[in-house]
Amino acid sequence: MYNHASSTGSAFPAVEFDAAIIGKLSQSGPRYTSYPTADRFQSEFGYGQFLEAVAGLRMRRSTRPLSLYIHIPFCDTVCYYCGCNKIVTKDHSKAATYLDYLKQEIDMQGRLFAGMGKLEQLHFGGGTPTYLSDRQMGDLMAHLHASFEFAPDQLGEYSIEIDPRTVSVERVHSLRKQGFNRISLGVQDFDPDVQKAVNRIQPEAETRAVIDAARDAGFRSISIDLIYGLPKQTMTSMEQTLDKVIAANPDRIALYNYAHLPHLFKPQRRIHEEDLPTPAVKLDLLALCIRRLCAAGYVYIGMDHFAKPDDELAVAQRQGRLQRNFQGYSTRAESELISCGVSAISAVGATYSQNEKTLEGYYEKLDEGRLPVVRGIKLENDDLLRRILIQKLMCNFELSIASIEQSFPIRFTEYFATELQKLKAFEEDGLLIVEPDWITVTPKGRLLIRNICMVFDRYLSQPRLGEAQPLRYSKTI
Ligand code: SF4
């Protein structure tokens, strides 16, 4: 019988690097920040369907906490590796117009959710949220506080992604005063050659000053984003970057795999392919990062996340509260996610809904007095079942079959007969163990969790017309 982390209350999931298995199973696949994945959203779902979902919550007198995502799409310069939906401009007047519309949307959402749960989580992402000036940010936060009832600072998780190149020490202190209590910094790599190759010059001293300021200002969690697989990265350069990251002592580290998809993301065409590490070196880089971070006391949370054992993310995982959403891993299970801003995705009730992707379309809808929802999906029972299953595997690396059978009217072995058959190959490779009551992902299988979850994704066997499936997703590792 395998020891189940949640049943034994034991330590964190260990992770084991097996280059041969990873090489064998590497393929393209979703990151499962949602299930069904965003490419399955339909244009038939719009503002009306979103209103119905909110009305459903009201009828059920929902008091589930609220989580709010605010998207600021602007950046001053472009990083060549970027795959985000952003607008690169030095004309900051564009942000003022955007803020006027964003506030309209916030007002409308605030009215729709008035009297429901408290806001316990806020996340500013982009683009570059700190593209906004200090005054604009203060004004926007005041607006948010007027529209939503925030949980007190010690209970709520209020985070912002910052680009250290755009903030001063004073600005960091100001962000804390404006109500943020967690901060995540884009670093990617400290090596000057790598920074040059991706058009993101960010001196180490500048980044360290921002981290120190965040600590002084009383931010509860400081997170650093790194990327492996960037041009000009070598084992030596990565060793040096890791030395610096570990010395900076952040609470969380996100280590993303650079997905080179120049046919999808135009800025990536400016990366010289000959500068990219070979697939073998890339795997060595990943192995090095995992080894160094674990040796430095970080625990592997899953996918691309590491955290200190006492960080809330690690604590939530130990307590089985970890969740996966559009910001990656999150400690707030069971909340309604309201997202404001161009291209932002909400998860309300049993629906997902996405806003207009262009500024023009976003402004036009709001001018008509409508929320700018243009696509989405209403989840069927099968979607809800598979979503829970994928969430559990992604967050806990194990699945209690009994708990699924208690929550859904199915016999697991019959309903998922085909999937269980497919899992046999993974079991033979030592990536998981299937028992009558549990599916448990082994330390060796944890880095390949996306592959395992893909078995339960029924949409992957239904390619969309005219789309070449392997091109839509990044490599699973
Ligand atoms: S990586 Fe971030 S800062 Fe760079 S262009 Fe993309 S969104 Fe902007």
pLDDT of residue 1: 42
3-class DSSP state for residue 351?
strand
Q: How many residues does the chain have?
A: 477
Q: Where are the alpha helices (DSSP H) in 10-168?
A: 19-25, 47-59, 93-112, 134-147
Residue 165 burial (C-beta neighbours within 10 Å; 0-12, 13-18, 19+): middle
Name the β-bridge partners of 57. none
Residue ranges for the known binding site are 69, 75, 79, 81-83, 126-128, 161, 188, 200, 225, 259, 345
Contacts within 8 Å (CB) and 24+ apart, 236-243: 237/189, 237/191, 237/193, 237/194, 238/189, 238/285, 238/288, 238/289, 239/288, 239/292, 240/190, 240/191, 241/189, 241/190, 241/191, 242/288, 242/289, 242/292, 242/293
Name all residues whose Cβ lies below 6 A of ligand 1: 75, 78-79, 82, 84, 86, 126-128, 163
Summarised one tens digit per residue, pLDDT across range 50-91 is: 999 999 999 999 889 999 999 999 999 999 999 988 999 999
Ligand 1, residue 77: give the atom nearest the CA.
5
Arithmetic mean of pLDDT, 106-120: 95
3-class DSSP state for residue 450?
helix
Arithmetic mean of pLDDT, 18-47: 90
Summarised one tens digit per residue, pLDDT across range 233-249 is: 999 999 999 999 999 99
Å from CA of 163 to ligand 1 middle:
9
Q: Which of 338, 309, 310, 334 is nearest to 322 (CA)?
A: 334
* Nearest-angstrom CA–CA distance, 191 and 207: 13
Å from CA of 404 to ligand 1 middle:
39
Contacts within 8 Å (CB) and 24+ apart, 354-357: 354/38, 354/41, 357/85
Please state which of the ranges 109-123, 202-216, 317-331 shows the lowest mean pLDDT: 317-331
On average, the pLDDT of the chain sits at: 92
Assign 15 a pLDDT band (cuts: 50, 70, 90): confident
Å from CA of 200 to ligand 1 middle:
9
68: Cβ–Cβ under 8 A, 6 or more apart, which residues? 119, 121, 122, 123, 144, 148, 337, 338, 339, 340
Q: What is the largest CA-CA distance in the chain?
A: 62
Assign 16 a pLDDT band (cuts: 50, 70, 90): confident
Assign 6 a pLDDT band (cuts: 50, 70, 90): very low
Burial 198-232 (b: 16+ CB within 10 A, else e): bebebebeebebbbebbbebebbbbbbbbbbbbbb
Please check the confidence at residue 449 and state whether its pLDDT lies above 50. Answer: yes
Domains of the chain: 5-29+380-472 (1.10.10.920), 40-340 (3.80.30.20)
Summarised one tens digit per residue, pLDDT across range 347-361 is: 999 999 999 999 999
Please check the confidence at residue 3 and state whether its pLDDT lies above 50. Answer: no
Residue ranges for the known binding site for [4Fe-4S] cluster are 75, 79, 82
Please state which of the ranges 28-32, 294-298, 385-389 shows the lowest mean pLDDT: 28-32
- Ligand 1 pocket check: which of 79, 165, 185, 225 to mutate, most ligand atoms within 8 Å of Cβ? 79
